[in-house]
Amino acid sequence: MQLLSEREWLAYREKNKDRARMLISCPDRAGIVAAVSNFLFQQGANIVQSDQYTTDPETGRFFMRIEFDLINLDERCEEIKQAFSPVAESFGMEWSLVEANKRKKVALFVSKEDHCLLELLWRWKSGELFADIAVVVSNHPDMQETVESFGIPYRCIPVTKDNKPQAEEEQIAAAEGVDLIVLARYMQILSPRFLEDYAMRIINIHHSFLPAFVGAKPYEQAYRRGVKLIGATAHYVTEELDAGPIIEQDVQRVSHQEDVETLKQLGRQVERTVLARAVRWHLEDRVLVYGNKTIVFP
């Protein structure tokens, strides 16, 4: 895989320089799609993709993701936001407007297992993940050489039960200004102090379908149960351990013939692809959180 060339990057930027994404959540009622579409038409925008979902047409919650092109978007973005505010207020909307060609800044956290980290780095290097990876943070030095070979800064911050608060302050400082933190098999529990600044902006990968086989040695537990499916779950991190809103899941069929090591190998393959999908969907503003669930637009 090759890093996007300057020419390819300029082509991508040119293609998307006037493209924006609007995310909307509000009480469902008649007229929402018409109001948003009419507003964009009046602004001279061309809608290129629109997805919507309602939990209940009568009394539910309405969700919408809409992409549009608008000439001179960079110059007009703030103007569009101000002009849309009365429309949003009339429908009680929670909403955001994002410029598609603006890269989000990402921090990756990892411990010793490298499979999820490498998958993200490879996809980033190939241009599949449109983001700036600002730093990789780890509590071990093992991955430093690999990460720095990608031209990405590496911060090793050891964590023990005695220095955890201090270590977390260093981690927060290292990740300052990022839009997303990805726990690529980072094997430390984040404190509420850490989480409060990154609500629904930290993604974790977990073996199996949550909450199955929690705790130590999950694949050994699965083997003893004679499972026929193994899987992985990517979710947003909340204070309740491994119970945040689920973004993506997948499974691999297995049989009695697989031993524990084979289960682990298959599990790693599922983990890396599930996490990469979840990160990509977040970067492309395809995920809306509703309570402890997500709406993920294709």
Please state, in angstroms and rounded to a whole number, the distance separating the CA atoms of residues 260 and 279.
28
**How far is it, in rounded angstroms, from Cα 215 to Cα 221?**
9
Based on the number of CB atoms within 10 Å of its own CB, is 222 exposed (0-12), middle (13-18) or buried (19 or more)? Answer: buried
Q: How far apart, in Å, are the Cα atoms of 139 and each of 8, 154, 155, 176, 259?
A: 35, 11, 8, 17, 30
Whole-number Å distance between alpha carbons of 89 and 91: 5
Q: Are strands 180-183 and 293-296 parallel, antiparallel or unpaired?
A: unpaired
Would you say 106 and 79 are in contact if contact means Cβ atoms under 8 Å apart? no
**Contact (CB, 8 A) for 111 and 140:** yes
The CA–CA distances, whole Å, from 293 to 86, 169, 211, 244 equal 28, 30, 15, 8
Instruction: Look at the block and give the residue holding tokens 């060609």.
Output: 101
Report the residue count for the chain: 298
Looking at residue 202, its amino acid is: I
Query: 131-138 and 154-156 as β-strands: parallel, antiparallel, unpaired?
Result: parallel
Reduced to 3 states, what is the DSSP secondary structure of residue 22? strand
Nearest one of 137, 273, 125, 130 to 205, comparing CA atoms: 273
Contacts of 102 (CB under 8 A, 6+ apart): none
**Residues taking part in catalysis:** 242
